[in-house]
Structure 1
């Protein structure tokens, strides 16, 4: 395991131990809590999601609601919330996200095949704030999404999770298109739990541990305080092979190349601390004061792409040179590839060779004679002097998340229900990148950088009212309310070296356009001062929601919501639904609803530069707002047919809107219950990060339009283009642009933006069945079968959306997914066996559709056996994927070193095992 830093383990372990010791001091509560649990187990499951009534059971809702208990989430091998949900909710998908920039820190998850920010996440019925991370590399489906980070919720704190599988924007507001996930936090005024778990993979890496505690404390006779905390760490894994180019370097005699040069696997997660507190007290028999909040932090450290010491542009790749002198010489005249050499004197040209010829080891090793000349000269420098075997950056960040919610609710005026609440949430990510360089600084470059960070802050005020009106043999419940939500997205600039335009890139007398070395921290450029700042968005909303039990057999629901946004106008959404009881055992239900999702302040204003693999090479890709100087240039290029423009529709960014309906049935036959539901979601004007567009081509277009002389070819699309830095310098000199507006963008080869570029239709079926089976005297056996089928079709795609991106949207997630879960309790023994099915999927490896992986379906098996050693203390042994199954082998493994398909829906670590001790009372 990794060494824990800064004494964090000691402080947080002390807190956990304090919770546990304080809890253990109240053993008399254990019997009461056990009796309450046993009684509750025989009652219908009461839900609060998708309904405004307080006594509605999951069996009597007009839309399907799944209930996942806290025990189901904790009785598993994994310690990550997203991975736990992957095998608890069939339509929930998440993968490992290796080498995915900020998405490695907060992994995007998909419900019913849609983007992460098409699912509304609630905690205790209140909207959870978004994560600061925007997913730039999301495997097509999640590109550009900004959803909440559910991994900040400690699993030990969860009483139950309610998943509403239906559109609910009219009930809850923006984002509730795919559905709603409502995490209900434990509220017991007594009892508690202490747990400790350790595990590892079959291959011996990925060691992980987690310790946790929960305690409920009564506040007199009318209140409670319930607090939960977890602390854990997990080591990185590696499922890599040596890259072909790195292997060739080693074979040629380069002993400085690492093996493997690039690692594919889960990242290191250090100091993963989570705290959640829940409070409530009755001010009177009808009115309750309540509050809850959380604090979480963690450090994540993952890998990046290997920088080849012979051809990484802007660092190593030099011009073709004379093999004898290292001076420029065209390839058709006998010139050979070289390693770039910088002239540190800056004011005279010709002091140094232009490049060190690659003449040894089959053209992979620098010529030793000219390398010696460079090393001996104080004015000459090449990065093979610092990193002769190339380098692989390490990227990660420190995440901090906290929130507070408080309110008052109850009943006044003889039956008027009310709930007035306020919630504040903040998510802050500070990035770091190590083992890398700012090449333009030459030998003075740091090798560690703070590129800056993102912060998301949200304020939310809600007023909900409700009144039940008796009507004949039934009743009508009328709910109404208002909401105000304000969010702020902030970009924090990085340290100056992380975005500096150093001397080897700056224009000088001898080098008018610089010397060809790249700027900014290589791999993840720092946010410059002009990129920093805050952007805000606010929403005002009002709604009416009516549920009518007109007869014992019929329930109707209707809702309408008006929402007005600062930047994107207003919208009205609505929903109707009905449930009809054919008999006491069988119900029919259906809904029709409209929905919407408004661009976040982050999506509308974010600036980002990252490195991505494309056409066999690394390239720097930027994402900028359409209104920024760079965004205006590209918008003009996209929409203009003159001067080699693309002649497409001008990109715009606005809300996405949905129409969806569900139709299903539910049965309850005593020992057997089931639900079967069909869903169909038409999502129009989907918000996403566009496919990339050539930034040099856009600059060439601008130069041609403005009559600026450049080295741009006549055909922007097919002929080689000048360097971005050269074009920016020429356009700045001509007065067409201000180069300061493009600080940190000098090495961009591709550009993307947020826009509404396509529609989709997503439809499928959910089937869930529960049964009590195989009665054994003195024991209980239960089975759960859950199956999801989801199919997405891309419609009306903008021409800038590539065919590969469309296929990712349609086929990267498996269409079929499900599990069969068997549990048995016999005296002090408890056992679990689960079979998970993941259907076939298609991967554009490295986001390149010329590197396809057609991956077949897979079944994995999980098992756990627990024994209660003494009253309340259980020891459990378990294994996840105990047959050690892996996804499809990667036929393109030699290109970047990934042994398996990296977007596998069940990961690619293989089997793992664990041991857990848990004491509860």
Structure 2
């Protein structure tokens, strides 16, 4: 270990003291003369560089080089010749490309910008959003600024999925996008989600990265599997981390909802310092967030339970002549409680605490090489509370333990770790980047304030329901070179990648899954010689009491798995400027998955500049997504509610005997073809406009089947045995059940101009998308179950649960010490499909169309000093909630807000204080 410390000391020492000349200066902006912190200052054709501090100052040691390069988001890059002078004061002009900063995602050409890219890319600077926007998590920040990005509160999913806010691009699945950090593949969450956006899918937990650690977010709105590999069917999100130095930024935000519930706080600190004097840096971030329990959105009586509370059989019937509402009201009065005692506590948001640490670092080794590292750790405690188990639900409650029933809670303990280490530099004019990235996500499940009804009075009230985890280790080598004298410039890139993925389920304690009333059924038979003997005919539950911990049963020992797979990939990528106006690019990738074989994907794209202010671009790509290990091996038992009735369901592993016996095959990769065609335009200074049409066909998408019923006597013995063992009455399975076509149009625009001694910035974005199911894959022999293999609920999830129209309008005006921001987000209509039963051959569903809504945010920021700023504002200023659930869906509850369009809980004022020291 001492040797490693000595080596690190020598590296830093060489980088620190090998310089002979120091160049200093200040960078300001032309419009108001204000200093610009965070400007990239580098020496051209070297890896030397630094960033201006809070006062716009920089200091840089010079070894060699002739040109200084200054670049900053929103401003035109500027080059200055290095002379004998050691001090340089630079004034940057606003860029004609407001968002024309250098991008990483979508191109391996280091000089590619957003506007000259042959495919659509959004580049989102987080700094102004973190200063003025009401939202504090990365998913919600992007939801309100990017029209193609969609994410809603995880409570719409339920159970463990409620702890996550999953993300979508272009209306496709949460598992059909790829997330990178600093251009390197990020690992997914280990959780399989139910309901919400990601039914039966794993997704990315973007909120495990602190917002204060992020400099910008790049969203590639085009299929990119040939460039980056599996999952990139819908596009790629690249999170670029902060590398500022010599500045401490402290920020704290608090907000609350209309009824004083759901209070959120987020406090963070970001500090960076230089490592040596040649551009090395270490940027660190610490963040802590809290989320109070939230009531269901809507009026004060939203979701109030109207049915029987204390009467026997209240889970299966309404009041009758024997058991009346008056009896309930008298019992409530005698016990000193009212019906609000039985309200759901979740539904708007979970109770949660988050603690996050992240870092981003680099140390130059010499002129053209550096070691870099980044990563972090996050820990989240999230509590989901489900539907209240009423005292009259005799098969689920024990009145001796809970005379007034109980509200079970799922405590999810989530830890996330990641570390990337690499070295990059030039070898004979080739840029070489060698890296290794490791990530791991752990998901623990503890059930509290619950019981296992089948255990009677012996039941615990807190259960360890088991856990699951997933990890990913990716080693890569990427090589590229720009040939400026070939044609009008050609960039060549190629590389290889080796990735190992693992998935593990750990069984819970026995009480969390057991069905204590199971008894073996014996029969009698006779041998050929007349001897009578007993036979085991299977098992049966005697008393009908619900097994396992309520809300979520634990993982059984037979559910435990520990599996892994390896992926080897190689790619080649070429971008050629055929002429000054015509760019052509192409990529080819070959991947080999252990157990799945080889997959080849390709991509071609082109952009032609018709005039200086107008260009046309288009692309074609093929893609694929290998099913996640969790989708092969995950199994669980939980409770859903159909017309107010509690139904225990089991999700069977795709590799289980029950799945094979039913005739459902093992999962195969999803495959896609995608097309885009669009224009880019800059008709006048400081204004840009893009419009891109797209079409994506995805074949053999993985989803969940509908629910097979325990009352179906035609199901195989293995499936019927599964019902008995788990105490469930419905079962669903993973399967490549359907194919889709997605068509859409995306439009973006921005304009920045001086206005009345200030600066006005206007942003516009819109996405119009339509999803259709093009075919359903019914396994041979299961034709009679075609409406269960792919049911109306799953069809609605992939076609109509996502707003088909989303429009973002935002304006900000900065004058003196004040910054004003106002924006409106339009979320189009959606249609939900709610299961009413598991009737064979076609279950019944209730469809409800939800009206479009506008959500308006506003804020005012005031800079008390150059170092201290305060912000007050409001999210959803006009308290737009959306439609209430239809009374036909459940006559036993008051209607509540459905809220799947934007996840809004209504008006939410906020306050923020930020200090830069």
Q: Tell me the TM-score range normalised by the shorter chain.
A: 0.7 to 0.9
Which of the numbers 238, 254, 258 marks the counterpart of 2:295?
238
Q: Match for residue 35 of structure 2?
A: none
Q: Structure 1 residue 887 and structure 2 residue 882: aligned? A: yes
Contact 2:305 2:339 (8 Å CA) reproduced: no
CA distance in 1, matches of 2:56, 2:563: 51
Shift of residue 744 of structure 1?
8.6
Do structure 1's residue 792 and structure 2's residue 771 form an aligned pair? yes
**1:841 has 2:830 as partner:** yes
- Aligned-partner SS, 1:116: coil
The 2-side partners of 1:898 and 1:259 are apart by 12
The reply to whether residue 907 of structure 1 matches residue 903 of structure 2 is yes
Q: Compute the displacement of 1:897 (Å).
A: 4.2
Return closer, same or farther for 1:608/1:237 CA change in 2, 3 Å cut-off: same
1:670 maps to which of 673, 680, 685 = 685
Deviations 1:692-724 (A, max 9, x none): 2224536x5435xx9xxxxxxxxxxxxxxxxx9
Partners of 1:461 and 1:485 lie apart in 2 by 6
- Report the 3-state secondary structure (helix = DSSP H, G, I; strand = E; otherwise coil) of the residue aligned with 2:558: coil
1:807 deviates by 2.9
The correspondence of residues 693-712 of structure 1 with structure 2, limited to 5 A, is 693-697=708-712, 701-703=715-717
CA distance in 1, matches of 2:680, 2:595: 42
- Other-structure match for 1:79: 136
Q: Does 1:684 align with 2:699?
A: yes
Contact 2:103–2:218 (CA<8 Å) still a contact in 1? yes
- What TM-score do you get using the length of structure 1 for normalisation? 0.80
Paired position in structure 1 for 2:913:
917
Q: Which residue of 1 aligns with 2:755?
A: 776
Deviation at 1:513, TM superposition (A): 4.7
Find the partner of 1:57 among 90, 113, 118. 113
Cα 1:411/1:524, change in 2 over 3 Å: same
C-alpha displacement of 1:514: 2.7
Provide the rounded CA distance (Å) in 1 between the counterparts of 2:861 and 2:835: 42
Match of 2:426 among 394, 411, 419: 411
Greater displacement, 194-203 / 150-159: 194-203
Task: Say if 1:558 and 1:672 are closer, same or farther in 2 by CA, change over 3 A.
Answer: same
| Corresponding position: 1:31 with 2:55 | yes
Quote the residue 1:714 is aligned against.
Answer: none
Please name the residue that 2:730 is paired with. 750
1:550-561 counterparts in 2 under 5 A? 550-561=578-589
Q: Distance in 1 between matches of 2:209 and 2:892?
A: 35
Residues 1:605 and 1:566: Cα distance change in structure 2 (over 3 Å)? same
**Which residue of structure 2 aligns with residue 127 of structure 1?**
185
Q: Evaluate the alpha carbon distance shift between residue 845 and residue 192 of structure 1 in structure 2; reply closer, same or farther with a 3 A threshold.
A: farther
Question: SS at 1:59's partner residue?
Answer: coil
Determine the structure 1 residue equivalent to 2:30. Answer: none
Question: Residue 537 of structure 1 contacts residue 600 of structure 1 at CA under 8 Å; is this kept in 2?
Answer: no
Cα distance, 1:142 vs structure 2: 2.1
The answer (yes or no) to whether the contact 1:418–1:466 under 8 Å persists in 2 is: yes
| 1:178-217 → structure 2 map (5 Å cutoff) | 178-217=234-273
The CA distance in 2 between the partners of 1:150 and 1:62, in whole Å, is 27
CA contact (8 A) 2:477 2:495 kept: yes
Structure-2 change in CA distance of 1:654 and 1:111 (3 Å): same
Matching of residues 610-625 of structure 1 within 5 Å: 610-625=638-653
Aligned-partner Cα distance in 2 for 1:53–1:28: 25
Q: 2:74, 2:879 → 1: CA distance?
A: 38
Write the mapping of 1:88-127 to structure 2, written as runs, cut at 5 A. Answer: 88-98=145-155, 100-127=158-185
Secondary structure at the aligned position of 2:401 is classed as coil
Distance 1:235 1:472 in 2: 60
Partner of 2:90 in structure 1? none
Cα offsets for 1:252-306 (capped at 9, x unmatched): 3242675252415233343311111000011111111100011101111122123
Per-residue deviation, 1:616: 4.2
For the Cα contact (< 8 Å) 2:409–2:551, is it kept in 1?
no
Task: Flag the structure with higher strand content.
Answer: 2
Whether 2:734 is the aligned partner of 1:767: answer no
CA separation in 2, counterparts of 1:895 and 1:455?
40
Q: Distance in 2 between matches of 1:476 and 1:898?
A: 64
Match of 1:464 among 475, 478, 487: 478
If each structure's helix is expressed as a fraction of its own residues, which one has the higher value? 1
Structure 2: 5+ residue runs without aligned partners? 1-37, 39-50, 60-69, 78-99, 297-301, 310-318, 524-538, 778-785, 838-843
Corresponding residue number in structure 1 for 2:504: 490
Q: Alpha carbons of 1:760 and 1:786: their partners in 2 closer, same or farther (altered >3 Å)?
A: same
Deviation at 1:847, TM superposition (A): 8.0
SS in 1 for 2:55: helix
In structure 2, what is the equivalent of residue 423 of structure 1?
Answer: 437
Note closer, same or farther for the CA distance 1:250–1:275 as it changes in structure 2 (3 Å cut). Answer: farther
Structure-1 residue corresponding to 2:860? 865
Q: Matches of 1:472 and 1:599 in 2, distance apart?
A: 42
Corresponding position of 1:156: 212
Give distance in 1, aligned partners of 2:590 and 2:897.
44
Contact 2:275 2:282 in 1 (8 A): yes
Of 90-99 and 442-451, deviating more is: 90-99
2:618 paired residue among 590, 606, 613: 590
Aligned to 1:542: 570
1:450 counterpart = 2:532: no
3-state DSSP of counterpart to 1:42: strand
Q: Is the 8 A contact 2:648 2:729 kept in 1?
A: yes
* Map of 2:850 onto structure 1: 855
Name 2:871's counterpart in structure 1: 876
Contact 1:262 1:896 in 2 (8 A): no
Secondary structure, counterpart of 1:520 in structure 2: coil
Aligned to 2:454, the other structure's residue is in SS state helix
Alignment partner, residue 374 of structure 2: 292
Q: 493-502 or 547-556, which moves further after superposition?
A: 493-502
- Comparing 124-133 with 892-901, greater Cα deviation is found at 892-901
Q: Is residue 314 of structure 2 the alignment partner of residue 252 of structure 1?
A: no
